Structure 1
Amino acid sequence: MGTDSGRRVGRPRAAQRPDSGLAPRAELLVAAAELFTTRGYAATTTRAVAERAGMRQATMYHYVSGKEELLADLLESTVAPSLTRARELLADTARPAEERLWELCRTDVELLCGGPHNLGGLYLLPEVRAERFAGFHAVRAELKDAYRRLIAATKAGDALDADELAVRTDLVFGLIEGVILVRRSGPAGSAPRFARATADAALRVVRD
């Protein structure tokens, strides 16, 4: 995730900000999340983000380097909580692997379906392939590997060879991230219910 170090040049210009209680950088992320998911990343200017956050464009650069940094932070925010949970579940070897895998699936889907904006949809942007987003791809790869390790630890996974394990991991991970596209059409029911149903489906993929 980005930091403020090395970016403070001069004194930020005063601006009237919404009374949200958020820090300026957090306010910029909220504004960027809304605009990137409604107007589109390419169509959103830094001026628009700054204005939506209640500050001048020059002030914005006191907190972030530009749109790419905001996008990188937003992308990582969709994966980091699930990765934290995945690490906890991998360490909790007293619980059955299937139970832990189901919990990770549920947690991940709730994260992708939660919040006011479909931030997971930003994964599909062509810009995300750039080197600037290597941090996001590294975190996402570690999360996918956690899925692989949990699948391998299940009774069904124990019988899979390396190639078949890779296929099952791709299928399960694809199913989880597929909720990004489903959400665009508005999934029926609440996010928790949808998450449980998706986790159930993921376990069927592992077992079948």
Structure 2
Amino acid sequence: MSGGSDEGPRRVGRPRADRLRAPGDRPPREELLCAAAELFTVRGYAATTTRAVAERAGMRQATMYHYFGGKEELLAELLESTVAPSLALSRRLRGETGRPAALRLWELCRSDVLLLCGGPYNLGALYLLPELDSPRLEPFRRMRDELRDNYRALLEATPLGAELAGDTAALALRNDLVFGLIEGVMLIRRSDPARPVAAFAEAAADAALRIAGVAPAR
């Protein structure tokens, strides 16, 4: 995923010719992102150096700086990749009128869980990092806030949303519970990685709709 940010990566120098990657491997940026995803989620963000990321990707540290300005830039792109597909889907579902809102909300919840838990690395765990307050991660935070707002728009269109129309605090609480449940599944997934992701995503979506006050609807 690359959600993309408002500013491109800082270019430092030119790529060196002493690359260690074998021909036919993934493009350098993808290699670096995969290496960072593995190291950030297994070793820890604070404990991972840019040198370690470059070596894991099979290249020199100087080469890495041609594609990314540093560790924080890698983190930003990885985080945006956990939101961008769900954000695009939520915009489309929010604009639909031919299906019940509960069904659209269920679809968004299920898809979001598949995105957060379906990859080889538990990228959702990066949401717990204290570094999320960094100014460089502002694009990610804006994307995440818009996704939360789209969850709320779908919730407002359900029968429960109609009942709570005059109680904004209660509606906001329900939405925070639904959104928190979907993002929190990464912790459950981490404790039992062998659980089938598809069944896990459907169960999480069912639970989210119960919080939303409607019966699960496929």
TM bracket (short chain): over 0.9
**Which residue of the other structure, out of 157, 167, 181, is the alignment partner of 1:175?**
181
- Equivalents in 1 of 2:79, 2:86: separation in Å? 12
> Which consecutive unaligned segments of at least 5 residues does structure 2 have?
none
- Letter matched to residue 208 of structure 2: A
Give the 3 Å change call, closer, same or farther, for CA 47–196 of structure 1 in structure 2.
Answer: same
Matched residue of 1:61: which SS? Answer: helix
Structure 1 segments (4+ residues) deviating >6 Å: none
Cα distance in structure 1, aligned partners of 2:200 and 2:140: 25
Which residue is equivalent to 2:120? 116
Distance 1:107 1:157, change over 3 A: same
- Which AA in structure 1 matches 2:117? C
Q: Pick closer, same or farther for the CA change 1:21–1:4 going to 2, 3 Å.
A: farther
List aligned pairs for 1:1-208, cutoff 5 A: 1=4, 7-19=11-23, 21-160=25-164, 161-186=167-192, 189-207=195-213
Same amino acid, percent of matched pairs: 62
Tell me how many residue pairs correspond in the alignment.
208
User: How far off is 1:5 after superposition?
Assistant: 6.0
Structure 1 vs Structure 2 CA RMSD: 1.6
CA contact (8 A) 1:4 1:63 kept: no
Which piece of structure 1 moves more, 85-94 or 14-23?
A: 14-23
Name the CA distance, whole Å, in 2 between partners of 1:188 and 1:48: 28
Partner of 1:178, secondary structure, is: helix
In the TM superposition, what whole-angstrom CA distance separates every residue of 1:90-130 from its partner, at most 9, and x where no partner exists? 11111110000000000001111111100000010111111
Q: Work out the CA distance in 2 between the residues paired with 1:20 and 1:184.
A: 32
Structure 2 Cα separation of the partners of residues 71 and 6 of structure 1: 14
Pair 1:30–1:188, CA change in 2 (3 A)? closer
Cα offset, 1:13, TM superposition: 3.4
Q: Deviations over 1:120-151 (max 9, x none)?
A: 00010111111111111000000000000000
- TM normalised by structure 2 equals 0.90
Letter in 1 for 2:173: V
